[in-house]
Amino acid sequence: MAGSDPQPKKATPPRPAINSPRKPLQVMHISRKTEEEEKKNEKTSEILKDKSFDDELLAKKNTSSPVKPSIDRKEIQVEPATDGPQSMTMEDLLKSENNLEKNPDYKNIDTADNKNIFEQKNRKVDEFDFDEDEFLAALEENQPIGATGEIAKGSVIAIESDGIYVDIGGKAPGFMPKNECGLGVITNLKERFPKGLEVEVLVTREQNADGMVTISCRALELRKSWDKVQNLSKEGKVIRVKINGFNRGGVTCDFEGLRGFIPRSQLEDGENHQSLVSKTINAAFLEVNPERRKLVLSEKKAAIASRFSELEIGQLIKGEILAIKPYGFFVDLKGVSGLLHHSMVTNGSMRSLREVFQIGESIKALVTDLDPARGRIGLNTALLEGPPGELITDKAKVMEEAEDRAIKARNSLNKEKVDQQKEDENTRLPS
| Burial of residue 216, with CB atoms counted within 10 A of its CB: 0-12 exposed, 13-18 middle, 19 or more buried | buried
For the segment(s) 236-305, the CATH number from 3.50.50.60, 3.40.630.30, 1.20.1050.40, 2.40.50.140 is: 2.40.50.140
Q: Which fold has domain 156-221?
A: OB fold (Dihydrolipoamide Acetyltransferase, E2P) (2.40.50)
Confidence of residue 424 (pLDDT cuts 50, 70, 90): low
> Which range (91-95, 321-325, 374-378) has the least confidence?
91-95
Residue 313: which pLDDT band, with cuts at 50, 70 and 90?
A: confident
10 Å CB burial of residue 394 (0-12, 13-18, 19+) is middle
The answer to whether 251 and 284 are in contact (CB under 8 A) is no
Which superfamily does CATH assign the domain made up of 310-419 to?
Answer: Nucleic acid-binding proteins (2.40.50.140)
236-305 has the same fold as 156-221: yes
Domain boundaries defined on the chain: 156-221, 236-305, 310-419
pTM given for the model? 0.50
Write the CB contacts of 106 (distance below 8 Å, at least 6 apart in sequence): 100, 115, 118, 122
R_g over Cα of the chain = 53
**pLDDT tens track for 113-167:** 555 554 555 554 444 455 667 656 654 555 556 678 888 899 999 999 889 999 9
